[in-house]
Amino acid sequence: MNAADLILPAVLAPLVGTFLILVAGDERPNLRDTIMVMASVVTFAAVAGIYPEVSAGGLPRLEVLQIVPGLPIAFEVEPLGMLFALIASFLWIVTSFYAIGYMRGHHEGNQTRFFACFAIAISAAIAVAFSANMFTLFFAYEVLTLSTYPLVVHHQDQEARRAGRTYLGILLTTSICFLLIAILWTWVAAGTLDFRPGGILAGRVEGPELGILLFLYMYGIGKAALMPIHRWLPAAMVAPTPVSALLHAVAVVKAGVFTVLKTIVYIFGSANLQATGVSEWLLYVAGFTVIAASCVALTKDNLKARLAYSTVSQLSYIVLGAALATPWAIMGAAMHIAMHAFGKITLFFCAGAIMVASHKTKVSQLDGLGRRMPFTMLAFLLGALCVIGVPPLGGFWSKWHLVTGAFDAGEGLIVAVFLISTLLNVAYLLPPVVRAFLLPAKPDEARDGHHDEAHHDDHGDGRGGIREAPLFCVVPLCLTAAGSVALFFYVQPLFDLLYGILEFEARMR
């Protein structure tokens, strides 16, 4: 079986899993959860089977349906898409185990609907990754939005419904009012929507029109969460923690910044953008988002809210790399998709484990928790250091290449943005760890209105013994934390996969 034959199984395996999950239902939870795990493993196996050909320079392609001449629903796997698909499919396996532990440990309802929608979202994310043209990507992008809406409103209370309206309203409005117009404009101007190295707009759209088209794309891709259209992301934090992991690390926001990169590299052409200078405004918008979101994160006592604004900031690192449009910046932006995914999913896993085991949701409640939940809080430390960009964690490499790309572009202000942001990362990500390990536990602490019966024998001094979340929660967060370290020492395969893009971008200059 060649690589092209595995594209459709990779996209459809989660959908088959969705059907079987619905058949098993809440009446057979063990069977349902087993099906979900098996679907995730099959999906990753199919995606991994495509990797050897892509890493060797191949571009496996599959055309599914011709809508009109020159506009098919088609898939083609290039290095950026290969990277995104590998991350999404692998982390789905880990998230599946975590979700089982969390949903059961937290006694969540509607678990079948939850797991079914989760699987549809992964299928859409793989389709986004493998899209051969902007038409296919747009269709998959919208399926991803619609399939994650039921996850955001999972609790079905007033707060969840309000958050769901914000989530759906912003993402659909931006994609229809901006992104769809940009796609139609591109079709008229270039006569194609295919992703091509060097871009398809060079020589076809110029001057102010090119800048307007870039604006429509960047703000049409609402999942990239540029300010001021970022509010959907913090609003979605009312969802269960596995959904937060899906939104922030596995699929949704990564689909956004992935689409930004694909658009810059294969629609506009990064060499074209750098030569014309039309992306200069995007540097300032993304740079402002990086700093402003970090400052907001500093003010948040709710742990998930702090992590949400951290994600808004970190996403704009990738947008900055795309806007800088130098080869090393593009490399750094692509690498940051992987590095941030492992670091941030670890942090959200830890936040969920803390909630399940201790009912704590605020940073100010974490005093002394490291003595009772040492594995969770050590994993939190590793995830935080990865996001900060400290060696030996994987985030160091992506930030190094981003800063190198900013130097290459002569953008000293953007270098300063990266450095200031890193200091802010330290300021809002390390206090939870410091409080957990270095401060004594507070006796008789009120836990968000819940009396924590599981800790009656805790004397307030951390002597209550180790009381971690269920094993299905703790093992996944330990694995993703270990992955954050492994990405530092074994980064070469990732670099080799993406180097073809860097080489081509260098030749275009």
Q: Which residue has the higher pLDDT, 291 or 154?
A: 291
For position 34, what pLDDT does the model report?
94
> For residues 99 and 93, what is the distance between their CA atoms, to the nearest angstrom?
10
Cis, bond preceding 14 (omega within 30 deg of 0): no
Report which of 236, 237, 239, 242 is spatially closest to residue 104, judged by C-alpha positions.
242
For position 472, what pLDDT does the model report?
87
Sequence-ordered list of residues with C-beta below 8 angstroms from that of 229, at least 6 positions apart, any chain: 170, 174, 219, 222
Report which of 251, 256, 305 is spatially closest to residue 14, judged by C-alpha positions.
251
Per the document, the length of the chain is 509
pLDDT in tens, 258-302: 999 999 999 999 888 888 889 999 999 999 999 999 999 999 999
Does the structure show a pLDDT above 50 at 460? no
pLDDT in tens, 75-93: 999 999 999 999 999 999 9
For position 454, what pLDDT does the model report?
37
DSSP line for 451-492? --GGGTT--SSSTT---PPPHHHHHHHHHHHHHHHHHHHT-H
- 432-441, 461-470, 494-503: the lowest-pLDDT one: 461-470
Does the structure show a pLDDT above 80 at 324? yes
For position 103, what pLDDT does the model report?
83
Q: Where are the alpha helices (DSSP H) in 277-411?
A: 280-299, 303-324, 327-358, 369-372, 374-388, 395-408
Amino acid at 97: F
- CB burial of 305-324 (b: ≥16 within 10 Å; e: otherwise) equals bbbbbbbbbbbbbbbbbbbb
Output the six-digit token pair for 96.
């599946």
Q: What is the pTM of this model?
A: 0.91
Read off the pLDDT of each residue in 326-339 and give the average, rounded to a whole number. 93
Does the structure show a pLDDT above 70 at 462? no
- Adjacent-strand bridge partners of 61: 76
Cα(first)–Cα(last) distance of the chain, in Å?
38
pLDDT in tens, 464-479: 567 888 888 899 999 9
For position 465, what pLDDT does the model report?
66
Average per-residue pLDDT in the chain? 89
Report which of 126, 116, 142, 28 is spatially closest to residue 82, judged by C-alpha positions.
126
pLDDT in tens, 354-385: 988 888 989 999 999 999 999 999 999 999 99
Cβ proximity of 194 and 186 under 8 Å: no
For position 369, what pLDDT does the model report?
92
- Adjacent-strand bridge partners of 447: 450
Q: Which residue has the higher pLDDT, 186 or 453?
A: 186
Does the structure show a pLDDT above 50 at 446? no
Q: Where are the alpha helices (DSSP H) in 131-279?
A: 134-152, 158-174, 180-190, 208-220, 232-235, 241-245, 252-262, 270-276
For position 178, what pLDDT does the model report?
96
For position 242, what pLDDT does the model report?
76
